[in-house]
Amino acid sequence: MLPLDPQADIGRRAWVTCPNCEDHRECPVCEQGRRCPDHWRYLLTNTGSLLHLQCPSCTHIWDHETGFGATRTKWTRRTSSL
Ligand SMILES: [Zn+2]
Ligand SMILES: [Zn+2]
């Protein structure tokens, strides 16, 4: 298990399924695509639509392409204040 990244901040969370532990499976809340109180990931950083995430359950770190591209999501609004 990796330690939590120093950038991990509970104030910045993303609801993305973890490809490592897949702890969302068989969870009725996640199945409905809702913001599950148990299964969320730390949003460490993001570059455009690419999110750098860490799973609090298994501490797996990976990149997730949201595919939003030029569309500004709430994540990009939060980190770039041009
Ligand atoms: Zn995980
Ligand atoms: Zn869940």
Task: Name the one residue in this structure whose structure tokens are 């199945």.
Answer: 31
Q: How far is the CA of 57 from the centre of ligand 1 (A)?
A: 5
Residues 6+ apart with CB under 8 A from 17: 24, 30, 39
Q: Which ligand is nearest to the CA of 21?
A: 1
Q: Which residue, 6, 15, 75, is CA-closest to 47?
A: 75
**Tens digit of pLDDT for each residue in 18-48?**
999 999 999 999 999 999 999 999 999 999 8
Q: How far is the CA of 46 from the centre of ligand 2 (A)?
A: 23
Q: How far is the CA of 23 from the centre of ligand 1 (A)?
A: 6
Q: Which ligand is nearest to the CA of 27?
A: 2
Report whether 68 contacts 78 (CB < 8 A).
no
pLDDT at 73 over 90: no
pLDDT at 51 over 80: yes
Domain boundaries, the chain: 13-69
% of the chain beyond a pLDDT of 90: 73
Cross-strand bridge partners of residue 82? none
**Confidence band of 66 (pLDDT split at 50, 70, 90):** confident
Q: Is-above-0.85 flag for pTM?
A: no
